[in-house]
Amino acid sequence: MGLLRRPYALCAILGALVLFAGSLAEAQIRTQDTSALWLSQWIRKRPVLSRIEIAGNNAVKTKDIRGVMQVSPAGFWSHLRLKAPQLLHPTMLGREKASVQRQYRRLGYWDADVSVAAFPYRDDEHAVLRVSIDEGARSYWGALTVGGTPPVLVTRLERLAGHLRRGAPADSLALALTATQMQAECANQAYPLARIDPAVSHRGDSIDVTFALDPGSQISFGRITIEGLERTRESVVRREVRFKTGDRYSRERLIERQQDLYSTGLFTLVRMTPDYPDTNSHAATRIADLNVRVVERPPSYIGFHTGAGQDPDRDLTLDYALEWGSRSWLGTGRQWALTAQSGFVVITEWRVLHHRFSGRYTEPWIFGLRLPTSLTLAYEPGVRSLTQDYRIEKISGELNVTRRFRMFNRIWSSLVYERVNIYGIPVDQRQSLLDEAGITIKRRWTLALERDTRPNLLLPSAGARTRLDFDYVGGLLGGASDFYKIDFSWARYQVISTPTILASRLRAGWAGLHSRGKTIPTVDRFYFGGANSIRGYSENSVGPVDSLGNPMGGRVIALANFELRTPMTGKFWFTLFGDVGNNWATFHDISLKETLFSLGVGGQYVAPVGPIRLDYARRVLHPRHPASDRVHVSILFAF
């Protein structure tokens, strides 16, 4: 009561309390600032990431969240010093937060709140990454509409909007992809300046989207100019471009024509750039000039190739080839080449194995169509045998025609004619010699179809490759053999958990007789086993054998391969694989009991020429093939 009667004393006490509270708050802020500064400086020291903790996730499994993160704690390979440990760095926190948030938005959790922080773990040289998640509510696609003109274009865009199925989780990445696809469709329909604005509105747990279309002006091509030509005729470029004044713009065809120019082999650089005048104009139709700029390759060339290998019957062989030719004869785009090839046995002895001289002429356009057609004539004088006084001479001709459809599809066909002459041996002994040497006089027609959507041929992580080969030998074409052969393969590549890639392949083939055919030459049968088919078996050892146990090839094959590929560190990759299949003499021999299995692991070093591969495979127990293992060394992946 005394204090209440003394207002000055009360004010002094209250003031002291306020100052004390302010001092505490200032000290706490200073402590927080000091702690944040210390953490920032500590992260710059790049401690080793030893642990990842994830909390707050109920709808998404922890392993799925780890799968989208780009970091991983030090593990088994790091402890063995076969993989460099992951070091913490300042940009990691924001990057991992974005990755986890992106994963939640893909699953429909648009309001998910993610925070990522790093703290010392055990000591200052190791770190723990803590991911805290507030998932929020899940959203689903509701009404999806497209507004704008013209109606024909709107109808096409509505089909693309249908990819976002009503009632499905609202995937934000799918929304962005759909808008991009709409933009590309507009460009393919002569509206490259169109704008797509997706307006999103929330209605309970539903998300409604309205794609507002502003088509802009329809574009047609005007003047087409070509720059950079010195040795190549302008008509060669114009026939590849194929656009004329007045043609409607198409982004898809523009990309195809640019790829066609590259495929001629005449240029190292190709740029096709439309020039859109009057950007602010709202005219229904506008004219865009097309500028084509190229950088030429030298038309004439001389090439030398050499390589060493191991022959089944020799220790070491050396091959070389010398080629002289022109990529664009007289600037017309026509090509020709003269090639001389030879093979030798080296080290244990030095002698010639074979010679081959060939000439090739290529016509890029036939009958006004883009059908690259090449004619190859070859002469093999043969080499006199060391044990017999004879020489086998071969003369052959081959006609190839190729046609590409759009960006990923192509079809090609070839017709082969062979003639074999034998000198230095009686006439009645020639056929038996040909049979003994496995040489047949062939007249072959081949048809092949391929669709390849892999963005990277050396390290495919997406897309697929489908190929069908059909060979028809003899029959109406003549020759000493009458048979057909079909070989089908399909391979697919997909990321199942970043950065792990699942690669799978299916292959089937069969060969049969027709006309007067009695047997299929051994060299034309299927051979299985080895680094690129069923690992764990030696090369070409799977399938029928003769009385001496030597491979003689089969007529029916079935194969399935599965691989899990993941990068370890730098340019080193790691692979787990499984192979299953077999090679049979006839359809009647096919049996699941005769199917061969192998499992294994592999390592790859990604060199400029492609992955250099080392695989270890173990056979799964089979009645006629005892359990065993084998190491394979090869270049490129098995498929």
| For residue 312, cis peptide bond before it (omega within 30 degrees of 0) | no
Size (the chain), residues = 639
Which of 296, 369, 292 lies closest to 326 in space, CA to CA? Answer: 296
Average pLDDT over residues 33-55: 78
What is the DSSP code string of 269-333? EEEEEEE---TT---SEEEEEEEEEEEEPPSEEEEEEEEEE--TTSS-EEEEEEEEEESSGGGSS
Higher pLDDT, 158 or 44: 158
Residues 277-307, buried b or exposed e (16+ Cβ, 10 A)? eeeeeeeeebbbebebebebbebeeeeeeee
CATH topology classification for 140-214: Ubiquitin-like (UB roll) (3.10.20)
Q: Which two tokens stand for residue 239?
A: 């026939």
Q: Would you say 321 and 350 are in contact if contact means Cβ atoms under 8 Å apart?
A: no
Q: Which amino acid is at 302?
A: I
Q: Which helix (H) or strand (E) holds 238?
A: helix 234-241
Band of residue 80 on the pLDDT scale cut at 50, 70, 90: low
Band of residue 299 on the pLDDT scale cut at 50, 70, 90: very high
Q: So what's the pLDDT on residue 241?
A: 94
Q: Would you say 207 and 200 are in contact if contact means Cβ atoms under 8 Å apart?
A: yes
Angle at 539 between CA 437 and CA 583, to 5 degrees: 85
What is the DSSP code string of 378-428? EEE-----SSSS-EEEEEEEEEEEEEEETTTEEEEEEEEEEEEEEESS-GG
Q: Which two tokens stand for residue 362?
A: 């290529």
Least confident of 62-66, 345-349, 394-398, 621-625: 345-349
Q: Which amino acid is at 618?
A: R
Q: Which long-range contacts (CB under 8 A, 24 or more apart) does 148-155 make?
A: 148/212, 148/213, 148/214, 148/215, 149/213, 149/215, 150/215, 153/185, 153/186, 153/189, 153/191, 153/194, 153/213, 153/215, 154/213
Distance from C-alpha of 172 to C-alpha of 139, rounded to nearest angstrom: 10
411-447 pLDDT, tens digit per residue, is: 999 999 988 777 766 666 666 656 555 555 678 999 9
What is the DSSP code (8-state) at residue 565? E
* Residue 325 phi, psi dihedral angles, 5° rounding: -165, -175
Higher pLDDT, 334 or 45: 334
CATH dotted code for 218-296:
3.10.20.310
| For residue 608, cis peptide bond before it (omega within 30 degrees of 0) | no
Distance from C-alpha of 503 to C-alpha of 578, rounded to nearest angstrom: 11
Distance from C-alpha of 230 to C-alpha of 297, rounded to nearest angstrom: 10
Band of residue 308 on the pLDDT scale cut at 50, 70, 90: low
Q: So what's the pLDDT on residue 591?
A: 84
Question: How many C-beta neighbours within 10 Å does residue 445 have?
Answer: 18
Q: Which amino acid is at 20?
A: F
Please check the confidence at residue 551 and state whether its pLDDT lies above 90: no
Distance from C-alpha of 256 to C-alpha of 251, rounded to nearest angstrom: 9
Question: How many C-beta neighbours within 10 Å does residue 41 have?
Answer: 9
Average pLDDT over residues 200-209: 92
CATH dotted code for 45-134:
3.10.20.310
What is each CA distance from 175 to 95, 165, 195, in whole angstroms? Answer: 22, 11, 15
Q: So what's the pLDDT on residue 575?
A: 95
Domains 218-296 and 440-639 belong to one CATH topology: no
Please check the confidence at residue 161 and state whether its pLDDT lies above 80: yes
Question: How many C-beta neighbours within 10 Å does residue 633 have?
Answer: 9
pLDDT averaged over every residue in the chain? 86
Band of residue 26 on the pLDDT scale cut at 50, 70, 90: very low
Name the residue ranges covered by the structural domains of the chain: 1-44, 45-134, 140-214, 218-296, 298-439, 440-639
216-257 pLDDT, tens digit per residue, is: 889 999 999 999 999 999 999 999 999 999 999 999 999 999
For residue 45, give the 3-state DSSP assignment.
coil
pTM summary value: 0.71
Q: So what's the pLDDT on residue 14?
A: 60
593-634 pLDDT, tens digit per residue, is: 888 999 999 999 998 878 999 999 999 877 777 778 899 988
CA 97 to chain centre: 29
CATH dotted code for 440-639:
2.40.160.50
